[in-house]
Amino acid sequence: MSNPWTKKNPLMSVWLSSSNKAMNATRGQVAGAAKRQVAAAQANAVRQVVDFWSGKTATKALAKKRRRR
């Protein structure tokens, strides 16, 4: 007598295949979003450092104070 747990189940195979496709697509979307957020954060950090060392932030702050008067 054959073991029913070792037989192939086509329905289960189709279900698992579609489940894996959906999970891989989701994983790809999440990885892409994470990469975009990291790139944006790094660009912002570089922009802030460059602005700080070039004195651009101080110039902006003085310009705002002058506009308020």
Q: Which amino acid is at 44?
A: N
Q: What is the pTM of this model?
A: 0.60
Residues 6+ apart with CB under 8 A from 60: 51
- Return d(Cα 31, Cα 59) in angstroms, integer: 38
Higher pLDDT, 54 or 67: 54
For the stretch 1-35, pLDDT in tens is: 678 777 888 888 889 999 999 999 999 999 999 99
Residue 62 pLDDT level (bands cut at 50, 70, 90): low
The average pLDDT across 44-58 equals 84
The average pLDDT across 51-55 equals 84
